[in-house]
Structure 1
Amino acid sequence: MRRKSVFHPLKFYSSCLLVLSCFTQSCKSVEPQDTKERTNEPIFSNFAYKGDDKVYRENPVSSNKFYTSILQGCYPDPAITRKGDDYFLVNSSFTFFPGVPIFHSKDLVNWRQIGHVLDRPSQLKVENTLMNFGVYAPAIKYNQYNDTFYMITTQFSGGFGNIVVKTKDPFKGWSDPIKLQFDGIDPSMFFDDNGKAYVVHNDAPAKGAELYNGHRVIKIWDYDLENDRVVPGTDKIIVNGGVDISKKPIWIEAPHIYKKNGRYYLMCAEGGTGGAHSEVIFSSDNPRGPYTPAPKNPILTQRHLPANRPDKVDWAGHADLVEGPDGKYYGVFLGIRPNEKDRVNTGRETFILPVDWTGEFPVFENGLEPMPATIKTPAGVVNKKGDEGFFPSGNFEFKDNFDNEKLDYRWIGVRGPREHFVHSDKKGGLRIKPFTVNISEVKPTSTLFYRQQHNNFSAEVAINYQPNSEKDLAGLVCMQNEKFNYVFGVTKKGKTNYIVLQRTQNGIKTIVASEKVDINKPLRLQVKANGDNYEFAFKSGNAGYKMLGGIVSGDILSTNVAQGFTGNLIGLYATLNNNMDLSVIK
């Protein structure tokens, strides 16, 4: 359970599954609006994002060092696999569209996003799904015996449940989902060196066997590779509760099986994905158990460390292991970098540490100590520091004038494809076709999102837009979910154009500030954050930036307040259904 909070994300997740199921069955998919309805489309151009966190300023990297936070911002629940010299890594994506970002590397240091595993509507059905649901905890594994990659995950939307997709080449796309007939979450696959295959996952205890709140089990099934299904009747509980059930451990989950020196190792997260998060390890002579916990567990956690430690990384867990290019093992896992008020606005990020597996059990190096900002690259590997198209880390800038043929993979939609509402403008920039849907609705919105990747950042964009009525609005949003967000945009009241800042907390909307704006002059919008302090500003014509509404709290953009699993998203937003109460504007 997380410090200073009684909220437990996975408890929240399980308690809402029934409600979500009923909700999604009762709603109809929202298709893109007819083009005739889009009489005023904003054009966004010259987007610029810049991060400036102290930990990266004070810990610069050279060519033989790299940051432990390899994917900053909301890239949680990492899983990794290897084929020869190629490494592939995937993350959870919830209702983001496209879903399950996939990254490729030759050396574990320099990563390039090659796309998304679930990139078309037949694979991803999250149209009427709350932000905190959708696609959870993907696992990716390469099977050398049939030269096939598998990505298995839980998609609690669209009637899917647990699914698997596969491909011979991750660069060329993935199959449609195959539904698997078992309950629970966090599935992973294991391919033994005799050609047999297995699925392991988290599940609830048998009915009537739950001993305490958070009691979960790990199950294993034989997997039929020819027919892509778990073999009926082969399910078996291999971990009950966790390392020591007498201590009532909670949320044993995210299992992975590895084989080394003829023995089988089962690694799981334990303690929930908050402040008590950890990684634990078991071993067995058989993939189906029985599994015995290591004498020293956990092998990774930050939960016992002082709360006020500098450059804090917390919630470490949900890990996966892989052998590196130097023959040494490495582990990827999620962690968070809270701001000065211990709030989590950047979400759960992907970290990496070397793993010492010279003894019987693997142990994350420095995994029980305050997380280091940097580590040495594997022998012979050079850190390209984001050059040559590799994903940047540390303090970096990202600029996009939307003049490439394809959108950068870092841009995502929510609940529906980006292609339904964006297209290039002939004169430059990106044109957004507004839906008759606003940011508070549980439907696909016409919003293009970029993840907040630093506690201290600035993001700005030029906008060319002429609203026709009070129902028209376009601008920037900062959003944790549909009930917790800021909207900063241009709209119209009567014959006058205004720029308005609205705060929404738990669904309650408040106009923070508004000001008349001349839309005939070039207009730029900006959001900045210094930890928990956010500023929204605009620049009209040749004037400098003018703050609107003063400094506002980023509390509603944090997991602590909004709850759930995602980080803050910065969106380029347009709607034909503005729901602001403009009567308060005088």
Structure 2
Amino acid sequence: MKTVVSRFELIKKVSAFLLVSGMVCSLSTNAQKNKKGQKDLPLFSQFVYKGNDKIYADNPLGKDEFYSPILQGCYPDPSITRKGNDYYLVNSSFAMFPGVPIFHSNDLVNWKQIGHVLDRPSQLKVEKSGISAGIYAPAIVYNQYNETFYMITTQIAGGIGNMVVKTKDPMKGWSEVYKLNFAGIDPALFFDEDGKAYVVHNDGPDKGKELYNGHRVIKIWEYDLEKDQVIAGSDKIIVDGGVDITQKPIWIEGPHMYKKNGKYYLMCAEGGTGGWHSEVIFVSDSPKGPFKPAPSNPILTQRYFPPNRKDKVDWAGHADLVEGPGGKYYGVFLGIRPNDKNRVNIGRETFILPVDWSGEFPVFENGLVPMKPKLKVPAGITNRTGEAGFFPNGNFTFKDELNGPLDFRWVGIRGPRDSFSVVSKEGLRIKPFAANIKANTPTSTLFHRQQHITFDATVTLKYVPASEKELAGLVCYQKESFNYVFGLTRKGESYYIVLERTENGKSTIVASKQIDVKKPVQLQVSGNHDDYRFNYSVDGVNFENLGGTVSGDILSTNVAGGFTGQMIGLYATTGNDIVIP
């Protein structure tokens, strides 16, 4: 029996076939367009960063030694906690995205970055913040009584303010944000043996009671663990001004509370993040005070020594304590290593020192004398930094072909990396935003921190700009208004490599030169203290300089201000405003 198909059914079948065929053709055409469009994007590959500081060459490690800082470059405001043999450390990240880098160690010597605490837009609202706004002074702590990790911080962006996130396992990500109902900055949580929880933080004095510029206080609140919120009306000032208010101490901040031998210890930074920075400590019989300062404060500082001392470490403070291997205490803290012009380009770094807590008060061992670059490893520990995924320090080389998952040390500014980066087996393609590097909005730039005073960074770029508005290359970036741009762009039918300096928002072309872009170009920036040079190679062997030696002054916090360090960026934009003469 033949199957009879009606005209209506036949028309339906033919129409369906034509529709599907059209969709396939359309999808095929779109795929070809997307493939072609992606092929035209700037392609970065073979990034190599190499550090060569004299201090490490002059101080090679023995078998039982390791270097401090343990985290070089812009890793400030460290906080540390412990669960069993697992140590976790976090740092301030300001407008970097993702935010709050988190590191893990089993021995306080060898550290691996396991990710970032704030790794999604729902947690981090920094898209309109200045480079030195965003995330301030995160504090990480493990509460053994409910087996939960907490990270509390101040997010100066997005209307968030003080906030907390939590997790049972830092390896598996963190919760959404719990916004906290109090003002001030630098909060830290403390969990007492009776199950009660408290928040301590920096704040201004009560209204009308400010005695001088820089007069601050430390407050405490009771904290509701069920609601993840401070208890209204429970706040109390426990330190007014600092160790001795008659001496007008400034910027008491970064508090952490500890309990030892039935006593409560409150450790704070005092003196501001600069040349007078220090760490001080107080003791009480109750978490709510009264707190008595140690007679030997400060317990850590570098402020009393000649400014021209060799291998200078300065600004030491903003510390946190942890009980280390064998019951020995250690303290992590920030410090800076200025260049030969006394400028701070690499930012505030994470240092570590052993702490003697055999008496009533803890004291940083050798924290009150000029600091040395090397420490003894704890007994039974082997220094494996730079091996097997452990974060490197000293003089090291970081190589990244940029053809796999992005390393955690690559960050964006004000927005997620995956909003503009596409990784393939060929390398990293950047989908350029219209915003250029001077914008106070997310830019299509992937950043790596400068981690040495003497360094070079080289990347291969394959790119043919289609117009004068397109540019891709390297950027050296202290902030949106202080930076160097070194990249490829176009003028008419010709292609140029250009170097631009922007100081306090005013841009000047240092040099430009016509270039052949048929083959990939290698771009390189090298720094030696305050001297920076931008070089390029069209044959992969011989490098030519563009613009001579230029000053790194605009890449320092001394000139640019703010709290971050210099960052090297892989950059692209369709909003180029550099006009080739």
Q: Distance in 1 between matches of 2:519 and 2:224?
A: 64
Specify which of 514, 517, 541 is matched with residue 516 of structure 1: 514
Q: Determine the structure 1 residue equivalent to 2:394.
A: 394
Q: Once structures 1 and 2 are overlaid, which stretch shifts more, 213-222 or 59-68?
A: 59-68
Q: Determine the structure 1 residue equivalent to 2:178.
A: 178
Q: Determine the structure 2 residue equivalent to 1:420.
A: 419
Q: Determine the structure 1 residue equivalent to 2:217.
A: 217
For the pair 1:301 / 2:306, whether they are aligned, the reply is no
User: Cα–Cα, structure 1 residues 203 and 37, in superposed 2: closer, same or farther, change >3 Å?
Assistant: farther
Q: Distance in 2 between matches of 1:184 and 1:160?
A: 12
Q: Distance in 1 between matches of 2:449 and 2:58?
A: 23
Q: Once structures 1 and 2 are overlaid, which stretch shifts more, 540-549 or 561-570?
A: 540-549
Specify which of 548, 551, 570 is matched with residue 550 of structure 1: 548
Q: Distance in 2 between matches of 1:349 and 1:225?
A: 33
* 2:79–2:320 Cα contact (<8 Å) kept: yes
% same residue: 68
Q: Determine the structure 2 residue equivalent to 1:246.
A: 246
Q: Determine the structure 1 residue equivalent to 2:368.
A: 368
User: Cα–Cα, structure 1 residues 38 and 209, in superposed 2: closer, same or farther, change >3 Å?
Assistant: farther
Q: For 1:511, give the aligned amino acid.
A: I
Name the SS of the counterpart of 1:548 in structure 2: strand
Q: Determine the structure 2 residue equivalent to 1:408.
A: 407
Q: Which runs of 5+ in 1 are unaligned?
A: 1-33
Q: Distance in 1 between matches of 2:124 and 2:286?
A: 35
After TM superposition, the score normalised by the length of structure 2 is 0.93
Q: Once structures 1 and 2 are overlaid, which stretch shifts more, 406-415 or 36-45?
A: 36-45
The alpha-carbon deviation at position 193 of structure 1 amounts to: 1.1
Q: For 2:255, give the aligned amino acid.
A: P
Q: Determine the structure 2 residue equivalent to 1:154.
A: 154
The alpha-carbon deviation at position 63 of structure 1 amounts to: 3.1
Q: Determine the structure 2 residue equivalent to 1:90.
A: 90
The alpha-carbon deviation at position 40 of structure 1 amounts to: 3.6
The alpha-carbon deviation at position 438 of structure 1 amounts to: 0.1
Map 1:160-199 onto structure 2 (within 5 A).
Answer: 160-199=160-199
User: Cα–Cα, structure 1 residues 247 and 542, in superposed 2: closer, same or farther, change >3 Å?
Assistant: closer
After the TM superposition, which parts of structure 1 deviate over 2 Å for at least 4 consecutive aligned residues?
Answer: 34-40
* 2:45–2:403 Cα contact (<8 Å) kept: no
Q: Determine the structure 2 residue equivalent to 1:534.
A: 532
Q: How many residues align?
A: 548
Q: For 1:546, give the aligned amino acid.
A: E
Q: Determine the structure 1 residue equivalent to 2:468.
A: 470
* 1:456–1:529 Cα contact (<8 Å) kept: yes
Name the SS of the counterpart of 1:326 in structure 2: helix
Q: Distance in 1 between matches of 2:92 and 2:146?
A: 26
Q: Distance in 2 between matches of 1:326 and 1:185?
A: 34
1:155-209 deviations in Å (ceiling 9; x for gaps): 0111110000000000000000100000000000000111110000000011111
Q: Determine the structure 2 residue equivalent to 1:437.
A: 435
* 1:522–1:540 Cα contact (<8 Å) kept: yes
Q: Distance in 1 between matches of 2:500 and 2:239?
A: 48
After TM superposition, the score normalised by the length of structure 1 is 0.92
For the pair 1:103 / 2:98, whether they are aligned, the reply is no
User: Cα–Cα, structure 1 residues 204 and 500, in superposed 2: closer, same or farther, change >3 Å?
Assistant: same
The alpha-carbon deviation at position 64 of structure 1 amounts to: 1.4
Specify which of 477, 480, 484 is matched with residue 478 of structure 2: 480
Q: Determine the structure 2 residue equivalent to 1:350.
A: 350
Q: Determine the structure 2 residue equivalent to 1:451.
A: 449
Map 1:221-300 onto structure 2 (within 5 A).
Answer: 221-300=221-300
Q: Determine the structure 1 residue equivalent to 2:569.
A: 571
Q: Distance in 1 between matches of 2:526 and 2:88?
A: 33
**Larger-gyration structure (1/2):** 2
Q: Determine the structure 2 residue equivalent to 1:322.
A: 322
Name the SS of the counterpart of 2:202 in structure 1: strand
Name the SS of the counterpart of 2:389 in structure 1: coil
Q: Distance in 2 between matches of 1:132 and 1:95?
A: 6
For the pair 1:377 / 2:372, whether they are aligned, the reply is no
* 2:214–2:249 Cα contact (<8 Å) kept: yes
The alpha-carbon deviation at position 522 of structure 1 amounts to: 2.7
1:189-232 deviations in Å (ceiling 9; x for gaps): 00011111000000001111100000000000000001110000
* 1:498–1:514 Cα contact (<8 Å) kept: yes
Q: Determine the structure 2 residue equivalent to 1:20.
A: none
Name the SS of the counterpart of 2:519 in structure 1: coil
The alpha-carbon deviation at position 541 of structure 1 amounts to: 2.1
Name the SS of the counterpart of 1:332 in structure 2: strand
Q: Determine the structure 1 residue equivalent to 2:69.
A: 69
The alpha-carbon deviation at position 386 of structure 1 amounts to: 1.4
1:372-396 deviations in Å (ceiling 9; x for gaps): 1111011111101310110000000
Q: Once structures 1 and 2 are overlaid, which stretch shifts more, 60-69 or 101-110?
A: 60-69
Q: Distance in 1 between matches of 2:396 and 2:166?
A: 34
Q: For 2:349, give the aligned amino acid.
A: E
Q: Determine the structure 1 residue equivalent to 2:5.
A: none
Q: Distance in 1 between matches of 2:515 and 2:39?
A: 21
* 1:62–1:383 Cα contact (<8 Å) kept: no
Q: Distance in 2 between matches of 1:489 and 1:515?
A: 11
